[in-house]
């Protein structure tokens, strides 16, 4: 019979090497709302903007030192993982992020997931997503970018609701439509979404699930646009109407927003033969709105 020793006993003997991890951000969400009382959910929309993390264990330290120094949530998670697995060491945690903060692009969640993967890599922990989500829930509401592809995710509980699959690659031509939002505070507070809207959101989630399964990008665009309009009541985007008009003019699929942030964009299919001209026209028109431009692509990589 094989006796499995507690991990605390197996990891303390390892010095630990330099560990690296990364995680994607999102361009807002394809859909966000409620499915009933206390069941706030979102549908992730990962993009090719990443957080890269490096963790170097240092037995001479009794704490984790993080750079940039304001990334305290990442430091807390790294410390928690080390304590959980009995790795009696501190270390140096370095984060390099391509994601702006406070824009609804999952910068904080990506920090945490990349951090966990870097610490995991340093000690070969094989940290399960179940435990990672449990630890993250103790810190803040989170997106589901630890899972590949598109998912429906209960962000307050940090719990997976539904795996939905992947889509052909999309380009997002967008803008930053406001000042920074404290997305943690925004997601912790309950939105006064009328209870009867849960039926509508449930329908939209079912529509989106079918659209992702069938790779129906036009239907994805319709759901994302509907969600953007519905959420104007709770976090209005000043230029939504103007961006919707640009989307129609250039033949975009629909609009997508950071429901708890400020990003706002137009969805374009990468495989469309007219993708290049549509993107060029969209960026020209968006630039006239006088807001910073954001351009990225969807990804199914984690």
Taking the C-alpha atoms of residue 53 and residue 119, their distance in angstroms, rounded to an integer, is: 9
Q: What is the pLDDT of residues 191-223, one digit of tens each?
A: 567 778 899 999 999 999 999 999 999 999 999
DSSP 84-151: HTT---EEEEEEEE-S-TTSSS-HHHHHHHHHHHHHHHHHT----HHHHHHHHHTT----STTSSSEE
The count of other CB atoms within 10 Å of the CB of residue 271 is 9
pLDDT tens, position by position, 97-125: 999 999 999 999 999 999 999 999 999 99
155/263 Cα distance (integer angstroms): 18
What integer best gives the mean pLDDT of the chain?
A: 90
36 band by pLDDT with thresholds 50, 70 and 90 = confident
pLDDT tens-digit readout, 250-274:
999 999 999 999 999 999 999 999 9
pTM of the model: 0.89
Percentage of the chain lying above the pLDDT 70 cut: 90
Q: Judge whether 224 and 251 are in contact, CB under 8 Å.
A: no
Report how far residue 191's alpha carbon sits from residue 201's, in angstroms, rounded to the nearest whole number.
Answer: 14
Q: Is 60 a residue whose pLDDT tops 70? A: yes
């Amino acid at each position: 019979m094989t006796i499995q020793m507690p991990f605390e006993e197996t990891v303390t003997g390892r010095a630990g090497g330099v560990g690296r991890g990364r995680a994607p951000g999102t361009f807002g969400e394809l859909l966000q709302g409620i499915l009933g009382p206390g069941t706030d959910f979102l549908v992730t929309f990962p993009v090719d903007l990443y957080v890269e993390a490096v963790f170097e264990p240092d037995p001479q330290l009794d704490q984790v030192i993080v750079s940039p120094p304001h990334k305290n949530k990442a430091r807390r998670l790294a410390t928690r993982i080390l304590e959980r697995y009995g790795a009696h060491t501190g270390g140096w945690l370095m984060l390099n992020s391509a994601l702006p903060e406070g824009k609804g692009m999952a910068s904080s969640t990506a920090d945490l997931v990349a951090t966990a993967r870097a610490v995991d890599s340093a000690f070969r922990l094989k940290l399960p997503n179940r435990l990672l989500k449990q630890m993250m829930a103790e810190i803040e509401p989170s997106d589901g970018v630890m899972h590949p592809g598109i998912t429906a995710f209960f962000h307050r509980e940090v719990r997976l609701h539904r795996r939905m699959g992947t889509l052909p690659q999309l380009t997002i031509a967008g803008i930053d439509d406001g000042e920074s939002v404290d997305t943690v505070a925004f997601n912790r507070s309950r939105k006064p979404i009328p209870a009867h809207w849960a039926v509508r959101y449930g329908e939209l989630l079912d529509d989106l699930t079918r659209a992702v399964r069938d790779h129906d990008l036009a239907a994805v665009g319709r759901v994302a646009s509907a969600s953007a309009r519905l959420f104007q009541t709770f976090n209005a985007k000043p230029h939504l109407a103007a961006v919707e008009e640009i989307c129609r003019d250039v033949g975009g699929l629909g609009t997508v927003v950071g429901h708890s942030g400020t990003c706002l964009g137009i969805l374009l299919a990468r495989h469309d033969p007219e993708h290049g001209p549509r993107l060029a026209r969209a960026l020209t028109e968006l630039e006239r709105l006088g807001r910073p431009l954001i351009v990225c692509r969807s990804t199914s990589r984690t």
